[in-house]
Amino acid sequence: MEFRHAMKGRRALSAVAITSGLLLTVAGCGGGGGSKSDERPPASARSSGGERQESQTPQSNPVLAEVKGESGLTLTITSAKRDAGGFVTVEGSVTNNTNDIWLAQNWRGDERELTLNGSSVAGASLIDQKGKKKYLVLRDTTGRCLCTKFDGPVKQGQTADWFAQFPAPPQGTAQVDFEVGAMPPASIDISEG
91 touches 105 (CB < 8 A) = no
Distance CA 173, CA 188 (A): 11
Three-state SS at 23: helix
Express each pLDDT in 94-126 by its tens digit: 999 999 999 888 888 777 777 777 888 999 999
What count of other Cβ atoms lies within 10 Å of the Cβ of residue 76? 20
Specify which residues 139 forms β-bridges with.
145
Architecture of domain 65-192: Sandwich (2.60)
- At residue 84 the predicted structure's pLDDT band, cuts being 50, 70 and 90, is confident
Q: What is the mean pLDDT of residues 13-32?
A: 49
Q: What is the mean pLDDT of residues 176-188?
A: 95
Q: In the chain, where are the structural domains located? A: 1-31, 65-192
164 touches 137 (CB < 8 A) = yes
Distance CA 48, CA 179 (A): 48
What count of other Cβ atoms lies within 10 Å of the Cβ of residue 116? 15
What count of other Cβ atoms lies within 10 Å of the Cβ of residue 125? 17
Higher pLDDT, 28 or 172: 172
90 touches 180 (CB < 8 A) = no
Higher pLDDT, 163 or 44: 163
Distance CA 163, CA 134 (A): 18
